[in-house]
Amino acid sequence: MPVFYNLNAAEKREVLIVTLQIVRNLDDASVVKAWQQSIARTRLFFKLMEECLVHFEHRKPADGMLNGGSSRNTVGDGPTSPKYSDKLSPAINSYLSEASRQEVRPQGTPEDGYLWQRVNSQLSSPSQPYSLREALAQAQSSRIGASTQALRESLHPILRQKLELWEENLSAAVSLQVLEITEKFSAMAASHSIATDYGKLDCLSSIITSFFSRNQPLVFWKAFLPVFNHVFDLHGATLMARENDRFLKQVAFHLLRLAVFRNDNIRKRAVIGLQILVRSSFYFMQTARLRVMLTITLSELMSDMQVTQMKSDGTLEESGEARRLRKSLEDMTDEVKSSGLLKECGLPENALLVTPESFKENRWSWAEVQSLSGSLLLALDASLEHALLSSVMSMDRYAAAESFYKLAMAFAPVPDLHIMWLLHLCDAHQEMQSWAEAAQCAVAVAGVVMQALVARNDGVWSKDHVTALRKICPMVSGEITSEASAAEVEGYGASKLTVDSAVKYLQLANKLFSQAELYHFCASILELVIPVYKSRRAYGQLAKCHTLLTNIYESILEQESSPIPFTDATYYRVGFYGERFGKLDRKEYVYREPRDVRLGDIMEKLSHIYEYRMDGNHTLHIIPDSRQVKAEELQLGTCYLQITAVDPVMEDEDLGSRRERIFSLSTGTVRARVFDRFLFDTPFTKNGKTQGGLEDQWKRRTVLQTEGSFPALVNRLLVIKSESLEFSPVENAIGMIETRTAALRNELEEPRSSEGDQLPRLQSLQRILQGSVAVQVNSGVLSVCTAFLSGEPATRLRSQELQQLIAALLEFMAVCKRAIRVHFRLIGEEDQDFHTQLVNGFQSLTAELSHYIPAILSEL
């Protein structure tokens, strides 16, 4: 072998082609005897086979190819060497002669599989020698051209074409001969009748990899696929073992690469090759590991592909390469076409259903194939969408965040890629100062690490800790599976995921949640960090954690005791109507914005973002109210945004309550603010007007269910469900009174002081009392009585509605009386005048109400 590497390129080719011819002429017994002698000799032989593929690759020939037609001693006085063919055996000389004298055939391979391409005889010229060898020998003898390129250019165009065809035919023949020898070796190795490194079958895997990594003609791919299937049938357990992960990853990459080719015949064979890999995984490895490998290779392929192309109007669209890859992945799952495709590729129609010898049952599952293909298509779609948005990401940060999120979800089978895109998303949120969303990304990364550690039993956490993390970030999966270990593929996977990396991202999440003032999340996160420091007896770190916890709980107490209800964010429902919105058309989203963003702010922001999508035929219009939109009645050529402020709904909240929701989020202690339901109220009247008198004013309450909960990994979530309730005018009136009653009772009954006593806050009580009984503001209660308890409206009320209204008014006045007494016990001298005003207002209100409810005097 060392002597071989001392030869020049032309000499190497001669040795290799002679070697191939010798092996082809040997009978099976002679080959077996040669391979039985030693593993080293077998490896040496297959190294020569690899050299064959390198030196006879199907491509534009290198300089060495032409040098073979000239003298090895191009400068000197010695005799010139014989012609190229004279150095070879008679059999090879005949083979080369046949290859060089054929004519060009039409593009494509005929069904009879005839190997040679043929030169058009009508293009021949009597002034040029017909034989390519004679032309090369003549050029050499006359010393035309000082270089290989000059020698090529000196040939007549007909002969240059013949030279290229000769080299192509030679490449195909060499590849086919190596393939034939490989198949013969594979069959003998399966019976253990020859010496081989059967632990990994390096000799086979290296040759197969060489086949894939070289340019090959279609005739080769036609012959290759049956051999490929046969090799995996015989050696699937060995070739798909973890020791051969690099080989499998390379095969997967090249099959996906072939699936992008323009040539439909090659793409079909790539599809069948992928199906063969999937079939083998059902028997010889975890399907999850193959999913990881294909996801990794698809990611690498996408970095080499051009997934978008420019349209005539300057915008981007999906490229032909991406479309062809998508088509191949879809064909991979087509059960109907599968049998015909297998037959066309030279395989039995039931090739995918054949059970290997050591297995008793057929494990082929089209559902698994569809799941695998769907996963790859999801990654392709996410990568394409990200590329299409590249020009507008700086303007539309919402779309940019969603793009990173989709990439993170699409590449979730590979922890490294999943984490990479989550961190990109985290950075994008920090640039937008969306601290809660950035913190969720950090929690999601920590969740990936924790799941891998729990699955490996290699850490201080358990399933309970993962469950606790899911309460913070529901995106973290609650299922602990072995897929993390399946992701160990040549530098990708769970081996990089350590306890220290999880702690790092938990601490980042704690910092970001603190910036968002969501301290209840901070406390939960530190409770997950503490077990790590306890297991390591890191008392200094434990002291810091408990100091942080003290500060966090003090901040929570401060939020609870504040007279102004704490609000961490504002929420808006945004509806999209118009074809220029693309995939957003006729969809509704709920946006989470910082607490200082008002309705006018988000209207201006979204108008700026989407105005650029409008062309000369479309305009943007914002619907100013929250009425129900009928898309079919909207004006063509106009795109509409409907933006409405919405309130988050607590888990235990009664959505059918008539009460107004002014105080609903401020009652009780501060809870983990995770919301997936939102509502807004829309006033309307039966006569079509939005506003009317109390006796005509209806209210529609719309409840929205989002796809996921806030705070989320993105700033907006799709609305997946919408329900509406309608309240009659009298129900509205009762609800208004019950709301005021509930607010007063809340101040009287809720403990607010950090010292733990039961006294309500004076300032808050004064504010609510003034809005309830002061003469100048109590017209709301009186107007209800005027509207429903006097004259003709009172006769329209049902008996039950009348009783509910009177009961609500009596309860309201009773709570007001109690609140005034409590107020008297709390005030000092400086508030005596204010208290007197409250008493006078209450008495005046009682007197007015007695005209409508005479029993009120005895009740109070």
**Cis peptide leading into residue 711 (ω within 30°):** yes
Tokens of 298: 């698809």
Asked whether the beta carbons of 427 and 420 are under 8 A apart, the reply is no
312: three-class secondary structure by DSSP: coil
Return the half-sphere exposure (C-beta side, CA atoms, 13 A cut-off) of residue 682: 21
110: three-class secondary structure by DSSP: coil
Alpha carbon distance 161, 341 (integer Å): 34
Q: How many C-beta atoms lie closer than 10 Å to residue 577's C-beta?
A: 21
CA 761 to chain centre: 50
Asked whether the beta carbons of 203 and 197 are under 8 A apart, the reply is yes
In 585-697 the beta strands, taken as DSSP E runs, fall at: 587-594, 619-623, 638-648, 675-684
Sign of the torsion formed by the C-alpha atoms of 183, 188, 192 and 196: negative
Q: Over the Cα atoms of the chain, what is R_g?
A: 40
Virtual CA dihedral for 703, 705, 711, 713, nearest 10 degrees? -150
Q: What is the pLDDT of residue 383?
A: 92
Q: What is the pLDDT of residue 776?
A: 55
Asked whether the beta carbons of 576 and 582 are under 8 A apart, the reply is no
Buried-exposed string 528-541: b where 16+ CB fall within 10 A, e elsewhere: bbeebbeeeeeeeb
Q: What is the pLDDT of residue 84?
A: 33
Tell which residue, 137, 168, 14, has the closest CA to residue 69.
137
Tell which residue, 447, 422, 449, 450, has the closest CA to residue 437.
422
Instruction: Find the angle CA(19)-CA(24)-CA(30) to the nearest 5 degrees.
Output: 95
Alpha carbon distance 524, 575 (integer Å): 35
Asked whether the beta carbons of 92 and 177 are under 8 A apart, the reply is no
Q: What is the pLDDT of residue 227?
A: 92
If 0-12 CB within 10 Å is exposed, 13-18 middle and 19+ buried, where does residue 218 land?
A: middle
Q: What is the pLDDT of residue 672?
A: 59
Pairing of strands 308-310, 638-648: unpaired
From residue 50, give the alpha-carbon distance in Å to each of 46, 57, 180, 201. Answer: 6, 11, 14, 15
pLDDT digits 0-9 by tens, 506-556: 999 999 999 999 999 999 999 999 999 999 999 999 999 999 999 999 999
Alpha helices per DSSP H over 124-263? 132-141, 148-154, 157-190, 202-213, 218-239, 245-258
Q: What is the pLDDT of residue 116?
A: 38
Q: What is the pLDDT of residue 114?
A: 35
Asked whether the beta carbons of 645 and 599 are under 8 A apart, the reply is yes
Sequence-separated (6 or more) residues with CB below 8 Å from residue 96: 84, 85, 88, 166, 170
**Residues of the chain falling short of pLDDT 50:** 1-5, 60-126, 129, 145, 662-670, 753-759, 777-778
Asked whether the beta carbons of 608 and 660 are under 8 A apart, the reply is no
79: three-class secondary structure by DSSP: coil
Sequence-separated (6 or more) residues with CB below 8 Å from residue 45: 34, 35
Alpha carbon distance 783, 306 (integer Å): 69
109: three-class secondary structure by DSSP: coil
Q: Region of 759 please: left (phi>0), alpha (psi -120 to 50) or beta.
A: beta
Sequence-separated (6 or more) residues with CB below 8 Å from residue 385: 403, 406
DSSP state of 773: H
Phi, psi values for residue 459, rounded to 5° = 180, -175
Q: What is the pLDDT of residue 45?
A: 60
Buried-exposed string 16-42: b where 16+ CB fall within 10 A, e elsewhere: bbebbbebeeeeeeebbebbeeeeeeb
Asked whether the beta carbons of 746 and 667 are under 8 A apart, the reply is yes
Tokens of 738: 């019950």
Asked whether the beta carbons of 704 and 679 are under 8 A apart, the reply is yes
Alpha carbon distance 386, 408 (integer Å): 11
Sequence-separated (6 or more) residues with CB below 8 Å from residue 144: 150, 151, 154
DSSP state of 391: T
Q: How many C-beta atoms lie closer than 10 Å to residue 211's C-beta?
A: 22
Alpha carbon distance 213, 208 (integer Å): 9
Q: What is the pLDDT of residue 601?
A: 92
Residue corresponding to tokens 């529609």: 700
Alpha carbon distance 233, 658 (integer Å): 70
First to last CA, the chain: 112
